[in-house]
Structure 1
Amino acid sequence: MYQYLKGWLMMITTIALDLDNTLLNSAKEISEENERVLKQLHKMGKRIVLCTGRPIQGIQKLLTQLELFEPTDYAITFNGGLIQHNQTQRILAQTTISKHEVAALYQDAQKRHYPIDVIGADQVYSLITLGKSAYESTMGAVLPFTDVSFDDLPVDQTFGKAVCAAPAEVVQRVRKEMPAELNDLLHIVPSRAELLEFLPNNVNKARGLTQLMAHFGETLDNAMTFGDEENDFEMIAQAGIGVAMGNAIPQIKQVAKAETLTNNEDGVAAYLKQYFNL
């Protein structure tokens, strides 16, 4: 599908989708209509890319449902920090944090009393001396969790990210009072009201998508993105067509080029059917 934008002809080759409250409804499911439309576009040759803060192990069910296991099918995980081939899980690009960055975060968490979980390649480390968070209750079926002290966190390993899973008011306070040195060291962004993510500096979904598009000799101008939350901001603002969900926060709607229905109204399918004349 071609569209004239700012005086030149653009082709959308790639549809990149946030998951929670975007592609997924309130039951954390891909609706039948969203599934039908995305499968139709995939068969027409469009790349369908899931962009999420979760590790790839956490989206296998969704990749299977959408049948995204062709040679050109990749996923962007850890909010842009990791790009992997869906079928082989071969890494195309990766940016990580080390125990050094986690140490600075841990010191702040000790002072201000909030929980931290550190996500590695194949497991999650709960820094138990800070108190057990709710993260395992939501992610425990995806990756194994290990309760460790900070000293026992592996020093010879890198990590995709750290998270603070806590009630919304705690997450809001933690972020509002974050020391400047940590804001300079890490990219700190909420992915939902109850989850604050600590990513490698300069990592975001737009950066990951840019790396993936470059792999195919293309740019973000060839991408259509869907999102609702602050961690989607860059990919909505920078894509050729950034689409805000009807339930998106105001900051996302302000930078989007289009808006669709909510995630519970099959907003993804509704916009795609209109744009691609399905």
Structure 2
Amino acid sequence: MITTIALDLDNTLLNSNKEISATNERVLKQLHKNGIRVVLCTGRPLPAIAHLVQQLDLKQPNDYSITFNGGLVQNNASREILAQTTLTKDEVGVLYQDATQRHYPLDVIGPNGVYSLVELGKSTYEASMNKMLPFKNINFAELPADETFGKVVSSAEPQVVTATRAGLPAEIDQHFHIVPSREELLEFLPGGVNKAVGLKELLGHFGEDLTNLMAFGDQENDLEMLQAAEIGVAMGNAIPLIKQAANAETLDNNADGVAVYLQKYFKL
């Protein structure tokens, strides 16, 4: 039985204006009221999606979000951490050395905001986040050694991101799970971290497993989640890899694809 709906955000639940449509909002609120868990799954930290949590009224004691693409499972209301995997400064340093040699930008996401390593060149990440998180411009030497970090990202033109990924040395692959969340953003997560890992932790907390999961996504960072779910739903605008991995497909994100599939499945 499906008890939990996991939703990627950009180009899945959110339309091209980065908004939850009235139709998607209405259907998800109805299902949540009926006892179905609605779990937002994103690369962003919880403060950056607080407005979406608020819009969907996901503030009950058992409401959680999966953030940092699976690296952090956190209660929406209390902010209590259920599960977390992070990176140390030394681990970020492995990536920094490669970025210095091959000239690509890096931003490091910490517990209270984002550190832009401006000695590598200021990236496009701050502009794309639209003031959802505080940013601090620093050099790598200034990165706090007593903090841990959820992920590192490289935000640039698509051709730069493609070249960055193609040229990564084996040492980087050993330290990180590397995945694009969109064509202009490459994410470096702790090894073994993905959205399915976070969802497995969350479902286990409730005495359930991935057979109770329905998941929606469109990009490569949704792959493991859709493969692991009992019902993996690809958006109409999903990349071919995701459509091949899913066992169902719906309309695109600008046609209320999430709501359309849910209404049919749950007979709303």
Q: Tell me the TM-score normalised to structure 1 length.
A: 0.95
- Say which is worse superposed, 16-25 or 176-185, in terms of deviation: 176-185
Does residue 139 (structure 1) correspond to residue 129 (structure 2)? The answer is yes
1: CA distance, partners of 2:257 / 2:135: 34
Counterpart-to-counterpart distance in 2, 1:181 and 1:129: 22
Q: Match for 1:73 among 34, 38, 63?
A: 63
Match in the other structure for 2:261: 271
For residue 258 of structure 1, the aligned residue among 235, 248, 265 is: 248
Cα offset, 1:140, TM superposition = 5.2
Q: Match of 1:114, SS? A: coil
Structure 1, residues 183-204: CA drift from partner, whole Å, max 9, x if none?
Answer: 1110010000110000000000
Instruction: Quote the RMSD (CA, aligned, Å).
Output: 0.7
Q: Which residue of 2 aligns with 1:94?
A: 84
Matches within 5 A, 1:99-110: 99-110=89-100
Output the CA distance in 2 between the equivalents of 1:140 and 1:157: 25
Q: What residue is the counterpart of 2:143 in the other structure?
A: 153
1:181 is paired with a residue whose SS is: helix
- Identity within the alignment, %: 65
Match of 2:120 in 1: 130
Paired position in structure 1 for 2:47: 57
In the alignment, the residues of structure 1 paired with residue 110 and residue 263 of structure 2 have an alpha-carbon distance, to the nearest angstrom, of 38
2:125, 2:250 → 1: CA distance? 30
* SS at 1:136 equivalent: helix
Q: Distance in 2 between matches of 1:180 and 1:244?
A: 31
Q: How many residues align?
A: 268
Unmatched tracts of structure 2, length 5 or more:
none
Identify the residue that residue 191 of structure 1 maps to in structure 2.
181
- Letter of the structure 1 residue corresponding to residue 44 of structure 2: R
Local SS of the residue matching 2:258: helix
1:38 counterpart (13, 22, 28) = 28
What's the CA shift for 1:144?
A: 1.3
Structure 1 residue ranges (4+ consecutive) displaced by more than 3 angstroms after TM superposition: none
3-state SS in 1 of match to 2:97 = helix
Cα distance, 1:165 vs. partner? 0.5
* TM-score with structure 2 setting the length: 0.99
Counterpart for residue 226 of structure 1 = 216
1:138 is displaced (CA, Å) by 2.1
Classify the secondary structure of the residue corresponding to 2:115: strand
Runs (5+) with no aligned partner, structure 1:
1-10
1:48 corresponds to: 38
Taking a change above 3 Å as real, the CA distance of residues 155 and 140 of structure 1, as seen in their structure-2 partners, is farther
What secondary structure sits across from 2:236 in the alignment?
Answer: coil
Partner of 2:75: 85
Is residue 113 of structure 1 aligned with residue 103 of structure 2? yes
* Counterpart-to-counterpart distance in 1, 2:131 and 2:138: 19
- 1:181 CA drift (Å): 1.1
SS in 2 for 1:34: helix
Give, in angstroms, the shift of residue 139 of structure 1: 2.2
